[in-house]
Amino acid sequence: MREKIVILDGYSVNPGDMSWKDFEKLGDLVIYDRTPVDEIVSRVGDAPIVITNKVPLSGDTLRRLPSLKYVGVLATGYNIIDLDVAKELGMVVTNIPAYSTDSVAQMVFALLLNIVQRVDMYTDEIRAGEWSRCADFCFMRFPHIELAGKVMGIVGFGNIGGAVARIARAFGMDVITSSSKPAEELPDYVRKVSMDDLFRSSDVVSLHVPLTPATRNLVNAGRLALMKTTAILINTARGPLVNEHDLADALNNGKIHAAGLDVLSTEPPREDNPLLTALNCFMTPHIGWATAEARTRLLEIAADNLRSFINGQTVNNVIK
């Protein structure tokens, strides 16, 4: 008997350029582009299988879905699921590890290179005629920064942190990390330091840790005060790792040079988010993971996770 499969927010992962065929083979598929929280229960109904990207499943919601057996999260992070209640109810919750490693590492350097070279600004000014009116063969609006010889501080050294380290090394940067991994498990070109030493020493700090109670507001006024006034902060991990008011203050008062952010604490951001008007703050709308290649891998792994569950095995189960 084919089980009912409900996808709560398919559009964010597949806006129409991918196929759901692997899921269609596994059951009777119902896809919603987006699902408001107050419609989750009615849409899921008696379905035993739910797939979600960012639609949260609270403990109360899970208790109101007695037929639910499996929750597949279309992401690496799974903080949108109340795991304690899911475990209590005997559910399986899976995630998608490591699908976006290269894409997110690429976004780190897209943000960083734009900050140190300002390709966006020069393109706009050239189109506005500034180069055509220039008396010289080139014009410079601010000092450019060479990455070779600078220190890249990587907070967390999982798959993405490791990929960022390899790219940083290719640019000629010195790499340090505050990872929980033992020093002997790190590449020989990576030096392990304390968290505070990392913030003091780095020319670029790139965040690559999950969001937990211990890492929330990891970057705050105290840590920002440790940083060089020329330093750059990059966050492609989770928005709440950064205290946004403290970061806006640091940018507006020249305490650090710039920030490149692919994530914010609330997404989409509220109009009063102080980073929207902060100086030298460069943002993208949480798209580091969203290359076509990464999304293809995501859907393939998600279908494999579900296929394994249907066949009586579980892979990538986040409930221990």
Q: What is the pTM of this model?
A: 0.91
The three-state secondary structure class of 292 is helix
Mean pLDDT of 29-53: 98
- Tokens 């403990």, residue? 59
* Beta pairing class for 70-73 and 281-283: unpaired
Per CATH, which fold does 101-279 belong to?
Rossmann fold (3.40.50)
Alpha carbon dihedral 75, 295, 300, 44, in 10-degree steps, equals 50
pLDDT at 9: 98
CATH code assigned to 3-95+293-310? 3.40.50.720
Distance (Å, rounded) from C-alpha 220 to C-alpha 250? 10
pLDDT over 70 at 1, yes or no: no
Residues recognised as catalytic: 238, 267, 286
173-219 pLDDT, tens digit per residue, is 999 999 999 999 999 999 999 999 999 999 999 999 988 899 999 99
- Percent pLDDT > 90 in the chain is 96
Distance (Å, rounded) from C-alpha 104 to C-alpha 110? 10
- Give yes or no for a contact between 306 and 80, defined as CB atoms under 8 angstroms apart: no
- Domain boundaries, given as residue ranges, for the chain: 3-95+293-310, 101-279
Asked, colleague to colleague, whether 3-95+293-310 and 101-279 share their fold, the answer is yes
Paired tokens of 19: 């196929």
Distance (Å, rounded) from C-alpha 283 to C-alpha 214? 25
